[in-house]
């Protein structure tokens, strides 16, 4: 991913695209948290993503997810990151289902069809981990496969380390598990820009963070769908600030503890990576070198490719994942 282009993409969006039916009423959860819920009409006629959403309650908030495929199939938990949602996996779900797997694809709180607290302080690294744990407990998902990218990896790897019987196999792509140290100039620049840009256009971000293909306008609108206006973007705004890149960040001690578990992790662990990603592309070998379960696994790198490899190289990523699982 070209960081300069990435920044230009965000800065060029001075105003949001025209929004139809975007008025959202602020509601209050039974825990006293104010939130908004993206109107369902925003998700009408999504390109290649016509799955019926399901919902569960976590901490008084509605969390959306897609659950498709055979109930008898091996379950795969597909976790997105910033500022995407389950739509990111639209190119991977059909081949996985055709191969006999069950795909469980949640929208993290603050993203997709899930409820979006309006106060940025409602979002923390620990809270995201807690929300995901509660979601998994509610739907009863265990002994599954984890595939996670970006913040999906930061959250999913924590859950894996803290609940070690939750996943039988782990595969990750372009993510990290920071422990209070800088992860590079690319992320530092993104952090700065994410807090100063006037409007977050998720569609433009995805377009400029891919290298192997051009997104259609309909696909970009799919990424824009959850965010009709700034009131829906508190989670997306907050996520970059939560990455534990200094000793004072929340999550440092918990991530150190997670690395202690991963340093002993013997279950199969696969990395599928786009090394040209200027933000996280360089973190690949840390997992390959440290995790015992990664030894001898068919790790793959994809070039060209950017940060969002599920969209950039979706067919290649899912083919490698299926081959590894079968």
Over residues 259-296, the pLDDT tens digits come to 999 999 999 999 999 999 989 999 999 999 999 999 99
From the candidates 150, 276, 311, 312, give the one annotated as an active-site residue: 150
Cβ proximity of 157 and 117 under 8 Å: no
CA torsion sign for 196, 237, 30, 21 is positive
Backbone angles phi, psi at 251, to 5 degrees: 100, -10
Domains assigned to the chain: 3-325 (3.40.50.1820)
- Please identify which residue in the block is written with the tokens 């109107």: 39
What average pLDDT does this structure show over 136-162? 97
Provide the edge-to-edge strand list for the sheet that holds 27-28: 27-28, 34-36, 116-117
Answer yes or no: 299 catalytic. no
From the candidates 59, 107, 277, 312, give the one annotated as an active-site residue: 277
Cβ proximity of 129 and 58 under 8 Å: no
Over residues 78-88, the pLDDT tens digits come to 999 999 999 99
Helix (H, G, I), strand (E, B) or coil at 296: coil
Answer yes or no: 277 catalytic. yes
| pLDDT confidence bin for 22, thresholds 50/70/90 | low
Answer yes or no: 208 catalytic. no
Q: What is the mean pLDDT of the chain?
A: 92
* Cα–Cα nearest to 146, from 306, 43, 241, 287: 287
What average pLDDT does this structure show over 1-26? 44
């Amino acid at each position: 991913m070209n960081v300069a282009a990435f920044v230009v993409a965000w800065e060029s969006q001075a105003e949001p695209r025209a929004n139809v039916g975007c008025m959202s009423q602020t509601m209050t959860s039974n825990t006293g948290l104010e939130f908004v819920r993206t109107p369902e009409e925003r998700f009408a006629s999504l390109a290649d993503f016509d799955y019926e959403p399901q919902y569960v309650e976590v901490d008084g908030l509605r969390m959306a997810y897609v659950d498709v495929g055979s109930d008898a199939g091996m379950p795969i938990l597909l976790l997105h990151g910033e500022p995407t949602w389950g739509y990111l996996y639209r190119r991977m779900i059909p081949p996985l289902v055709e191969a006999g797997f069950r795909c469980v694809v949640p929208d993290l709180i603050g993203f997709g069809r899930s409820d979006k607290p309006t106060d940025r302080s409602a979002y923390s690294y620990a809270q995201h981990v807690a929300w995901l744990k509660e979601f998994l407990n509610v739907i009863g998902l265990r002994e599954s496969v984890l595939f996670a990218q970006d913040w999906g990896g930061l959250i999913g790897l924590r859950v894996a380390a803290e609940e070690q019987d939750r996943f039988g196999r782990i595969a990750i792509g372009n993510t990290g598990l920071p422990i209070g140290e800088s992860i590079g100039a690319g992320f530092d620049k993104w952090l700065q820009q994410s807090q100063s840009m006037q409007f977050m256009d998720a569609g433009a971000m995805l377009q400029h963070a891919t290298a192997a293909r051009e997104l259609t306008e309909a696909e970009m609108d799919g990424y824009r769908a959850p965010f009709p206006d700034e009131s829906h973007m508190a989670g997306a705004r907050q996520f970059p600030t939560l990455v534990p890149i200094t000793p004072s960040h929340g999550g440092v001690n918990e991530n150190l503890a997670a690395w202690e578990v991963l340093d002993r992790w013997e279950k199969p662990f696969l990395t599928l990576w786009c090394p040209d990603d200027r933000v996280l592309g360089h973190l690949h070998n840390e997992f390959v070198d440290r995790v015992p379960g990664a030894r001898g696994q068919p790790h793959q790198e994809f070039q060209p490719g950017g940060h969002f490899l599920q969209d950039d190289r979706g067919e290649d990523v899912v083919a490698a994942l299926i081959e590894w699982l079968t």
